[in-house]
Amino acid sequence: MNVRIYRNVTVPNNIKLSHYKKNPELGPKILFFSGGTALRSLSRELIHYTYNSIHIITAFDSGGSSAKLREAFHMPAVGDIRARLMDLADQSLQGNREIYALFAYRFPKQALNTELLKELENMVSGKHRLIARITDPMRKIILNHLYWFREKMPSDFDLRGASIGNLVVTAGYLENRRQLDPVISIFSKLVRVRGTVRPIANKYLHLAAELDDGSVIVGQHLLTGKETKPISSRIIKLFITDDPDEHQPITLMLRKKMTDLIHKADLICYPMGSFFSSILAQFLVKGVGKAIAASSVPKIYIPNTGRDPECFGYTLMEQVGALLEYGRKDDQATAPSDFVSSVLIDRKNGNYPGGIDDDYFVRQGIELIDCPLITNASKPFIDENHLLPVLLALC
């Protein structure tokens, strides 16, 4: 990567990179507002440079096997949380690769439920090949959680496509009085998660959107375009509801422990991924905008360089405008730069809807940082090996 200088920041900063790689326990506290798969590769690479990253994740996913668990137990979605924990786990530790393999395993979608019940019983007994490879004490802890899940599982629960990791985390959630933080902390210590992962909310809630055509969509999976047909009308309002039938917005307050996490960050990042359901959804929790505005650290937005179905009808500038609008819900008097100080782009290789209006960013007081982020191998998406040195340099 060519060395570039922005103000007093050199990108990449080889001295910083070398220091962090030698001392990752002293690495920066980069906070990511992200819930999905777009950050998975970056997270796996990040742990070589810092053990202190912070990942605040939405828990509103309503698709796939997460939906079955949510409906059966009226709980937050745990799939993205489980995935991020494993991405940040120290894979060099003995036994962690085997745990990763188990947690990533899904029951076959085409199998009969009677067959899957037998496979679950085989796991609970400790005889399953994926369980047998894991050593104590983690093996006993996982067996206990799988036993607990089997005992609490509704008799008609559909196991097809279920992630074993999600079942284990669900059992921990139920055992810990329906709290996610304790089970996250337990597993973080056991598999040496090199970072902090927390849900933005610890409740059974639904993400909803009002579209420009007047329709209302309830359910995150209906917005992302991954499991259903992409939306064909622009999102004009995003809100949280506790009743998917009544569509009534609710107010949810940010927990103090989450405010403290935001205030500890050395850099706040809104990364690529699902713009509305992974990033803007976090601002629906009252207090998030205020906590971000109160922090004086750099705040970086990394727009998608590929297509994001949720951003139908939105230019890059309108995405930034929406980020500012939702961020300033707590206090309209705050300046745009209190929420977004810089936007990271690859002007040469990136494809941004509506192009890049430099004057818009000048008016908002937001810096454009133009770096080579996309490679021939990664296009149209960002290469994490190019992105990571930039973020570390900006801390």
Instruction: Please state the φ and ψ torsions of residue 9, each to the nearest 5 degrees.
Output: -110, 125
Burial of 348 (0-12, 13-18, 19+ CB in 10 A): exposed
- As a whole number of angstroms, the distance between CA 101 and CA 218 comes to 33
CA distances, 366 to each of 74, 290, 335, 350 (Å): 41, 19, 10, 19
| Tokens at 41, concatenated | 């590769």
- As a whole number of angstroms, the distance between CA 297 and CA 339 comes to 10
CA torsion angle 67 69 73 76 (round to 10): -70
Burial of 133 (0-12, 13-18, 19+ CB in 10 A): middle
pTM, whole model, 2 decimals? 0.94
Output helix, strand, coil percentages for the chain, rounded to the nearest 5: 45, 15, 45
Whole-number pLDDT of residue 91:
82
- As a whole number of angstroms, the distance between CA 305 and CA 381 comes to 6
Name all domains of the chain by residue range, CATH numbers in brackets.
Answer: 4-58+202-394 (3.40.50), 65-192 (no CATH)
74: amino acid identity, one letter: H
Strands of the sheet containing 235-241, edge to edge, are 216-218, 206-211, 235-241
Cβ atoms 159, 117 nearer than 8 A: yes
CA distances, 118 to each of 73, 102, 227 (Å): 22, 17, 29
Cβ atoms 78, 35 nearer than 8 A: no
Sign of the alpha-carbon dihedral angle for 390, 303, 364, 251: negative
SS3 call for 90: coil
Task: List strand residue ranges (DSSP E) for the chain, in order.
Answer: 4-6, 9-11, 30-33, 54-57, 196-199, 206-211, 216-218, 235-241, 252-253, 267-270, 285-286, 299-301, 342-345, 367-370
CA distances, 82 to each of 42, 78, 165, 280, 285 (Å): 16, 6, 7, 21, 22
Per-position pLDDT tens, the chain of length 395: 556 666 656 677 888 999 999 999 999 999 999 867 889 999 999 999 999 999 999 999 888 788 899 999 999 999 999 999 999 999 888 778 899 899 999 999 999 999 999 999 999 999 999 999 999 888 999 999 999 999 999 999 999 999 999 999 999 999 999 999 999 998 898 889 999 999 999 999 999 999 999 999 999 999 988 888 999 999 999 999 998 888 899 999 999 999 999 999 999 999 999 999 999 999 999 999 999 999 999 999 999 998 899 999 999 999 999 999 999 988 776 888 899 999 999 999 999 999 999 999 999 999 999 999 999 999 999 999 999 999 999 99
Whole-number pLDDT of residue 372:
92
- 194 DSSP assignment: S
CA distances, 106 to each of 62, 162, 215, 273, 282 (Å): 17, 5, 35, 24, 28
Burial of 214 (0-12, 13-18, 19+ CB in 10 A): exposed
CA distances, 47 to each of 19, 26, 28, 168 (Å): 14, 11, 11, 24
Cβ atoms 142, 190 nearer than 8 A: no
- For the chain, give me the number of helices (H) and strands (E)? 16, 14
| Tokens at 282, concatenated | 């976090």
SS3 call for 5: strand
Strands of the sheet containing 367-370, edge to edge, are 196-199, 54-57, 30-33, 267-270, 299-301, 342-345, 367-370
Whole-number pLDDT of residue 4:
62
Length of the chain: 395
Strand 4-6 to strand 54-57: parallel, antiparallel, or no bridges (unpaired)? Answer: unpaired
Characterise 200 by phi-psi region: left (phi > 0), alpha (psi -120 to 50), beta (else).
Answer: alpha
